[in-house]
Structure 1
Amino acid sequence: MDGRRGTVFGTEDGRVAIRFVRLLPHPPEKVWRAITDPGQLAAWFPGVVELDVPVGSSLFFGVTEEQRRRYGMSEGSTGRMLRNEPPSVLEYEWAGEILTWEITGTPEGSRLVFTNVLSDASAAGPAAAGWEAGLEVVEAQLGGRPVTWNPLDRAEELAAGG
């Protein structure tokens, strides 16, 4: 799998994970907002969720209107906040998966490492395509560039090898 689209690896507990690394010319606080602010999340995250909650809090991931229309999804899912250490680490469980966002300041801006530990190993390809499409939106948002594409369309294009 293309490194930009994530590196797939096995975890110590026998599951499969995907890791993405991005070097971003923005301070950690700005990157943190891009991955936690509901207004910014709405443009790319595959659910509606409030992530500004204390560790141990329950999370509800609602279905977006686009997901209802495109995929016929109607039910949301639940999770739990595992770590919330602005602007460095955000980790939560979502429907049996673990999502970890680690932001480290660099002389040039930030290093973002995103890891998704999957509950279903066969989902690695589609999940990687979806997260890559989302990260493309995050990078555009951070750079002040307009998002002129639909991230779900882009994910499908990436999953098909585009």
Structure 2
Amino acid sequence: MDIGSISRTYDGRVALRFERSFPYPPEKVWSVLTDPRHLRDWFPAVVEVELTPGATLEFRCPQEQTRRSVLPEGHTSAGSVLTVRVGRVLEYLWDADVLHWELTPDGSGGCWLTLTHTTDDEEDALAHGAEWHAGFEVVEAQLAGRPVDWSCWDRAAELSTHYRRDSG
């Protein structure tokens, strides 16, 4: 099971990095990363991404996540779009975290998706790992046109043991 990798940035922050190969062109994968109809099934917050650098973002905690965490119902956090290269790169702040999405053609009509989630500490990165992993499973199903008949949140809970510091 590919659980991503963790490294330190030059300024001491923690970067959680996932790479996934998809047999679909970058433009198709891009739509799953930016279209609210797709995001609501796998992204850990309700957000509409405006593809304009400097745009303000509001992340709302979905009701299902509220039931599973210490976050109060209706919790929101803020962010802003840092970089947009349509079909290739999307980077934004979510509170103090940086999410950097990059799509690279693989030469065969598909692409590589890389997510680098930079946060302040390793425990926080590991906590996000299971959610991103489960989210990518939903993305794979969406791209393949398969129904998503499971809860991304339940799947993240199942995967969480793989994302604990002492599991490796």
Q: Is TM-score (shorter-chain normalized) higher than 0.5?
A: yes
Cα distance in 1 between the residues matched to 2:59 and 2:136: 19
1:65-109 Cα offsets, whole Å, 9 max, x none, are 212333353311001100111100000000100000000112231
Q: One-letter code of the match for 1:18?
A: L
Q: 1:10, CA displacement in angstroms?
A: 0.7
Query: How many residue pairs get matched?
Result: 160
Cα distance in 1 between the residues matched to 2:162 and 2:119: 21
Match of 2:117 in 1: 116
Cα distance in 2 between the residues matched to 1:100 and 1:161: 23
Normalising by structure 1, we get a TM-score of 0.93
Point out where structure 1 has 5 or more consecutive residues left out of the alignment: none
Aligned-residue CA RMSD (Å)? 1.5
1:67–1:73 CA contact under 8 A, matched in 2: no
| 3-state SS of 1:116 partner | strand
Match of 2:77 in 1: 77
1:23-48 Cα offsets, whole Å, 9 max, x none, are 11001100000111000000000111
Point out where structure 2 has 5 or more consecutive residues left out of the alignment: 164-168
Q: 1:126, CA displacement in angstroms?
A: 1.7
Q: 1:53 to 1:86 in 2, by over 3 A?
A: closer
| 3-state SS of 1:113 partner | strand
Q: 1:16, CA displacement in angstroms?
A: 0.6
Q: 1:125, CA displacement in angstroms?
A: 1.9
Cα distance in 2 between the residues matched to 1:161 and 1:20: 14
Cα distance in 1 between the residues matched to 2:114 and 2:157: 23
Cα distance in 1 between the residues matched to 2:156 and 2:51: 29
Q: 1:66 to 1:37 in 2, by over 3 A?
A: same
Normalising by structure 2, we get a TM-score of 0.89
The percent identity for this pair of structures is 45
Match of 2:129 in 1: 128
Match of 2:166 in 1: none
